[in-house]
Structure formats: structure tokens, C-alpha cells
């Protein structure tokens, strides 16, 4: 956090934080996109689950397919959220550059 700029009010970088709106949005969007593509890519997982579940035909096949798809979606969600978080933070830090001072409450751009 040493790269934080100084607050124009307090002349002090100590309470200055990055306003990370894009990071939050990026995390959510990345998570949803990741879950969607993970679910699609999870068709391999679904097929594997279905194959394993097929030991108990019909019911097991269905449950296995759903579990495989969900596992893919879940893995995709975390992967996507992590990427979205990184991208969003980069945008906040290097493109939007908006900071807030927690000491006096002032928001400013750098």
C-alpha cells in the first residue's frame, strides 16, 4: 500500500485507499462469466459424473451429470471471479485512479 497517493486535505497517504468499484464489478461479472463457461466446459465433468453415476442407471446418471456440471460451474466461478478481481483492480488502480481518504472522507482522482 506504499504506492497510495497523499490526501490533498491531510497531506498524508496513511488513510488513503483505492476506490475499488470496478474490482467489485469485475469480480461479480468474472464470476458469472466463469460459472457459465465452467458449466459449459463442465460438460466433460457432467459426462464423467454421468458415467460414474450410471452405476445406478437413470437416477444416478442424472445426479452425476448435474453434480459434474455444478462442479464445473463452481470451479469456473472461482477462476472467473479471481480473474475479474485482478482485472478490475488493475482498472481501478491504473485507469480510473480514484482514491478516498478514510481520515477526512475526501475522494480525489490522481
Does 10 help bind Zn ion (rule: CB under 5 A)? yes
Does 7 help bind Zn ion (rule: CB under 5 A)? yes
Look at residues 61, 68, 83 and name the one whose alpha carbon lies nearest to residue 38: 68
Instruction: Return the number of the residue (46 or 101) whose C-beta is nearest Zn ion.
Output: 101
Instruction: Return the number of the residue (17 or 104) whose C-beta is nearest Zn ion.
Output: 104
Instruction: Return the number of the residue (20 or 85) whose C-beta is nearest Zn ion.
Output: 20
Does 103 help bind Zn ion (rule: CB under 5 A)? yes
State the Cα–Cα distance between residues 71 and 94, nearest whole angstrom: 34
Q: What are the C-alpha distances in Å from 90 to residues 23, 95, 105?
A: 8, 7, 23
Q: Please report which helix (H) or strand (E) contains residue 107, including its range.
A: strand 107-109
State the Cα–Cα distance between residues 5 and 12, nearest whole angstrom: 8
Does 44 help bind Zn ion (rule: CB under 5 A)? no
Does 19 help bind Zn ion (rule: CB under 5 A)? no
Total residues at the site for Zn ion (CB under 5 A)?
6
| Shortest Cβ 12–Zn ion spacing (Å) | 7
Does 9 help bind Zn ion (rule: CB under 5 A)? yes
State the Cα–Cα distance between residues 87 and 5, nearest whole angstrom: 21
Question: What are the residues binding Zn ion (CB under 5 A)?
Answer: 7, 9-10, 101, 103-104
Amino acid at each position: 500500500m506504499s504506492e497510495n497517493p497523499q490526501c490533498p486535505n491531510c497531506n498524508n497517504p496513511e488513510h488513503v485507499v483505492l476506490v475499488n468499484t470496478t474490482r467489485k464489478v469485475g469480480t461479480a461479472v468474472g464470476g458469472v462469466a466463469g460459472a457459465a463457461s465452467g458449466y459449459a466446459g463442465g460438460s466433460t465433468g457432467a459426462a464423467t459424473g454421468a458415467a460414474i453415476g450410471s452405476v445406478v442407471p437413470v437416477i444416478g446418471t442424472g445426479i452425476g451429470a448435474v453434480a459434474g456440471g455444478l462442479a464445473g460451474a463452481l470451479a469456473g466461478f472461482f477462476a472467473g471471479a479471481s480473474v475479474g478481481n485482478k482485472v478490475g483492480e488493475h482498472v481501478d488502480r491504473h485507469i480510473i485512479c480514484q482514491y478516498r481518504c478514510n481520515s477526512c472522507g475526501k475522494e480525489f482522482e490522481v
